[in-house]
Structure 1
Amino acid sequence: MTAPRRSRPAVVTIGAGLSLALMLTACLGDSGGDNSSDGTIEVWAHSGQAAEAEALGTLVDEFNESQDDVTANLTLIPEADYTSTIQATSADELPEVMEMDAPTMASFAYDRKLIPLEGVVSPEALDNRISGVTESGTYNDETYAVGLFDVGLGLWGNKALLEEAGIEAPTTAEEAWTVDEFRANLAELAEVSPSGKAIDLGEANGFAAEWGTFTTTPDIWSAGGTLMKDGKADGVLNSQENVDALEEWASWREFADPNTSGSAFPDGQTALTWTGNWMYPTFSEALGEDLALMPLPDFGNGTKAGHGSWQWGVTPAAEGNTEAAGSFLDFLLRDESIATMVEANAAVPGSTSALEQSELYGPGKPLELFATNLESACGSDNVTQECIAVARPVTPGYPTVTSSFGSALLAIWGGADVQDELDSAARAIDSDFSDNDGYQND
């Protein structure tokens, strides 16, 4: 008999822009349910960046105006409440189409709040996805989510401060600083940074939140570790590779600016910052030609970077009306729609054809590094030297994984023993997986 499914903590989502959530807007219809009889579908999305929400509203309007058969009603929900709202809503009360942060997909599929998209979304759209979007939208060999874009994580530098310190910025994965070089560079850059601190690691975003998991897992993957293997955390999460990697990460605190102003790097107070592509518009406007994009440091197994962002799925509420839901998703996955969205959020285009046309991510363009990283995307259970972009674990138990790991990160950053904290997190994760029969499908 399958063990009862325990409630799991909400994941604090990470999107193309880590911004304050907007209040509930654009509520144009009922919250959910089957509307197959009147050709109406309800659509839920998160309200992240204002420009992103505006772009989505424009796309919904364009879809509704493009044909007479289906009307999409859009409801935006504050980002901070978004995932917990879906978790608290029964499957039959969900909208036909909903957005979700990539690492939550498996949990919603396991809870039967999503249906497979083969036969719903066109084969052409599925085949056109970049590998990162495909990787993070697949669970148990079926597609449950599709995305307009993906994200990249990198090291950004102020060329003027780097030159003052006599440090050259690497531009490709092969040129990534070793972790020893990175540590030495932090010390030198702290000397030339006006704040006296070399780097903003995103401490203000909260290491216990999803930010912590997203931005520190590249360290452990690069060190040869990972979070889980074959549904187990003990002996994996608390491995010596992970302990060494996080001891190194915690040692950077003396060089890290807490960035209470929210603008330490673009204001020129720090020489480096560790964040994603969504900050490019802000950084580019502030630093211009002094802005450098670099790979994250190499701990020994090659530079690594996280990926996986907001994607779209279809719920059981659409059964009997999947053609309408599919037509909406096919519209969102057009290159023209993707272009509208990525112009607003500077994300990596989610289709191969849109990526080839990108003015930001194409060959020789300023953010080409992110696109190159995503060409070698892989899962966290099979991280190779050659793989760069790694998806967070695709498992229904991910909310427990990230919650436990995030709690350990916060304690470690505060000075707690790394081995003790990872041992505790591993026990909590394995206990939850045991209580839920390993999150195996019935």
Structure 2
Amino acid sequence: MKKYLLFISLIVMVMLAACSSDEEGASGDEETTIKYAYWDKNQEDMLKDLVEEFNKDNPTIEITLELTPYDQYFTKLDAAASGGGLPDVFWMNGPNFVKYASNDMLESIDESISEDDLDTSPYPDGLLGLYQYEDKTYALPKDYDTIGLWYNKELFDEAGLDYPDESWDWEDLVSAAESLTNPEDETYGIAAFIQDSQATYFNTILAADGYIISKDKTQSGFDDPNTIEGIQKYHDLIHKHEVSPTHVQMETTNATSMFESGKVAMMFQASYMIPQFKANEYTNENVDVAVLPTIKKRSNVIHGLGNVIASNSENKDGAWEFVKFLSSEKAATIQAEAGIIPAYEGTQQSWVEATPNFNLQAFLDMAEVSEPYPVSKDTSKWATIIQDNLAKAWAGQLTVEEASEIINKEMEEILASE
């Protein structure tokens, strides 16, 4: 009898084990929770749609969204990093990337890309390069911003001028700005503002074949004659050609406000201004955008967000699956329909078609001639030096050459200490 009961018990145990195995097979891998941090509440609904789409093929990976406003975002991340508690996946931008990568806070994804034979060719080279450090890749691009030449069609029509196009060089821009400037009614051909380096003088530096920081992030480019030339040409719009409001005027009333009120005919500005120009009744009806003019070449800064994985994440496999999806063609299409330029080539048409009154193709064309946003470990330190000294040049307190010499010296000292 005892032998019989033992035999029955063994059979029951085997059956229970089999049932357990069947249940695990039906549900896939064990449940995994991925914390995903971001800072833009305007993208929250879109991110929820992405999570829902991701879970169709990955039902056992739960994604927890963590929103933190941008002005608190990196402070919170820094605190989490010191305590070993970074989110599994989180948004990263160019100015902060090197600090995190160089301090081993981020997981390199090169091996995962190789193992999955993932094609990275659909992403702009300049954007991929933004999230590479010491020959390692740490992020797949999510979206991007490029720079265009916004112009007022009404003012061009009144002056009898052709609109800017891909044939324009710097001389064409200056000539048109001179025709569009009318001191009597304080209307200017262009606004040579410097409050946003990404949208303004960084691009004239690159178009003049200069550079802001060397590719190995060890040298300043502000002793390069081409860099100085690119800054000088932009500076001359105020101090030589007198086709732009002065620096003081643009500190009192910002250049964008002047453009939105029809007092400025042209301005360099990024694709991230599209929602604002769409919302403004005057600009929505009267402005458009073209590619930037050439100096020695056509170029511009590209910047965009990347999705990174924390090096101390306990769920790296699940995190990689999510990161891979977030930069996939399917996810890019969802972003495009939500009004965000996706990084994945070939999915931007929905974004272009969403605003037919603006030539948004110009921003996609500028992505083809883009260079990564300049960064190092302590970007903010030398970026402040650049801004402060160029402001003095714009105000007439220094020449461009003098400002560049100071910037180069102090920037080199910071880079040497990194």
The TM-score with structure 2 as length reference comes to 0.78
- Compute the displacement of 1:163 (Å): 2.0
Of the three residues 306, 309, 312, the one matched with 2:307 is 312
1:106–1:139: 8 Å Cα contact kept in structure 2? yes
* Whole-angstrom CA distance in 1 between matches of 2:152 and 2:393: 28
Q: Secondary structure at the match of 2:332?
A: helix
Q: Secondary structure at the match of 1:270?
A: coil
Per-residue CA distance 1:19-41 (angstroms, 9 max, x = gap): xxxxxxxxxxxxxxxxx996212
| Structure 1 residue aligned with 2:372 | 391
* Whole-angstrom CA distance in 1 between matches of 2:256 and 2:92: 26
1:280–1:346: 8 Å Cα contact kept in structure 2? no
- Compute the displacement of 1:184 (Å): 3.1
* Whole-angstrom CA distance in 2 between matches of 1:113 and 1:194: 55
Of the three residues 129, 144, 167, the one matched with 1:150 is 144
List gaps (5 residues or longer) in structure 2: 1-28
* Whole-angstrom CA distance in 1 between matches of 2:185 and 2:340: 28
| Structure 2 residue aligned with 1:40 | 33
| Structure 1 residue aligned with 2:7 | none
- Compute the displacement of 1:354 (Å): 1.7
- Flag the structure with larger Rg: 2
| Structure 2 residue aligned with 1:107 | 99
Aligned AA (2:379)? Y
Per-residue CA distance 1:372-429 (angstroms, 9 max, x = gap): 2223xxxxxxxxxxxx211123533433342322222222222232222222222222
Of the three residues 391, 396, 400, the one matched with 2:381 is 400
Larger helix share, 1 or 2: 2
Q: Secondary structure at the match of 1:132?
A: helix
Structure 1 residues 152 and 194, CA, compared in 2 at 3 Å: closer, same or farther? farther
Q: Secondary structure at the match of 1:323?
A: helix
- % identical equivalent positions: 19
User: Which segment is superposed worse, 183-192 or 91-100?
Assistant: 183-192
| Structure 1 residue aligned with 2:401 | 419
1:158–1:291: 8 Å Cα contact kept in structure 2? yes
Is 1:337 the equivalent of 2:331? Answer: yes
CA RMSD of aligned residues (A): 3.2
Residues 43-442 of structure 1: matches in 2 within 5 Å?
A: 43-47=36-40, 50-63=41-54, 67-90=58-81, 92-120=84-112, 122-124=116-118, 126-172=120-166, 175-178=167-170, 180-191=171-182, 196-201=187-192, 207=195, 211-229=196-214, 231-233=217-219, 236-253=221-238, 255-256=244-245, 258=250, 259-260=253-254, 263-284=257-278, 286=281, 287=283, 290-299=286-295, 301-318=296-313, 320-347=314-341, 349-355=342-348, 359-360=352-353, 366-375=359-368, 388-417=369-398, 418-436=400-418
- Compute the displacement of 1:67 (Å): 3.8
1:156–1:292: 8 Å Cα contact kept in structure 2? yes
* Whole-angstrom CA distance in 1 between matches of 2:185 and 2:305: 36
| Structure 2 residue aligned with 1:32 | none
1:157–1:273: 8 Å Cα contact kept in structure 2? yes
Aligned AA (1:113)? M
- Compute the displacement of 1:357 (Å): 6.3
* Whole-angstrom CA distance in 2 between matches of 1:245 and 1:185: 19
Aligned AA (2:321)? S
- Compute the displacement of 1:155 (Å): 0.6
The TM-score with structure 1 as length reference comes to 0.74
2:291–2:365: 8 Å Cα contact kept in structure 1? no
List gaps (5 residues or longer) in structure 1: 1-35, 376-387, 437-442
Per-residue CA distance 1:50-86 (angstroms, 9 max, x = gap): 5334322443354457643122222222223333443
* Whole-angstrom CA distance in 2 between matches of 1:123 and 1:414: 53
